[in-house]
């Protein structure tokens, strides 16, 4: 199991930008900076190890800062997960930042066959990622397309 942490306000993957003069696509600076931090943290977690092989499972935990301008009651609700970050950025844009782990944690993120991204508010903002080898017993016994009671 590999555990990676980047403390500070989480940064989702930004859309590529285009240079007006050349027409070439480039990664926004904010995204590039965060991905560099994530890659560095991954390199530290992988010290002495080679990239993982085979199918992998990934859990990403995104903790978004609680706005200091919110009333105390709302801040408490956020801490207790009675209020969750249901607005943008979307959870999948946070997940896309795992591209930074290519050639460090694994050969390619195509190896991730099971993944989950969770986001919540908290007093210690950051991004935590747990990667582990995947085994088939982690999947449900029947997938929806295999269940006659659902799709007959």
Res 21: pLDDT: 83
Res 62: pLDDT: 97
Q: Which of 95, 99, 118 is nearest to 109 (CA)?
A: 99
Res 19: pLDDT: 80
> Which domains, from first to last, does the chain contain?
2-136 (3.30.1330.70)
Q: Left (φ > 0), alpha (ψ -120 to 50) or beta: where does 129 sit? A: beta
Res 85: pLDDT: 97
Distance CA 52, CA 34 (A): 22
pTM for this predicted structure: 0.86
Per-residue pLDDT of the chain (152 residues), as tens digits, is 999 999 999 999 888 778 888 888 877 889 999 999 999 999 999 999 999 999 999 999 999 999 999 999 999 999 999 999 999 999 999 999 999 999 999 999 999 999 999 999 999 999 999 999 998 887 766 666 666 665 55
Res 149: pLDDT: 62
Q: Which residue has the tokens 């890659």?
A: 39
């Amino acid at each position: 199991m590999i555990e990676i942490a980047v403390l500070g306000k989480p940064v989702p993957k930004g859309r590529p930008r285009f240079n007006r003069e050349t027409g070439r696509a480039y990664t926004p600076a904010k995204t590039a900076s965060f991905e560099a931090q994530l890659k560095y943290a991954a390199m530290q977690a992988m010290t002495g190890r080679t990239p993982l092989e085979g199918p992998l499972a990934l859990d990403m935990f995104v903790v978004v800062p609680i706005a200091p301008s919110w009333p105390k009651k709302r801040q408490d609700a956020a801490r207790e997960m009675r209020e969750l970050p249901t607005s943008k950025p979307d959870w999948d844009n946070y997940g896309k930042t795992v591209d930074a782990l290519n050639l460090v944690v694994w050969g390619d993120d195509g190896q991730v066959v099971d993944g989950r991204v969770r986001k919540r508010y908290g007093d210690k903002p950051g991004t935590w990622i747990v990667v582990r080898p995947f085994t088939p017993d982690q999947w449900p016994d029947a997938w929806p397309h295999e269940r006659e009671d659902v799709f007959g």
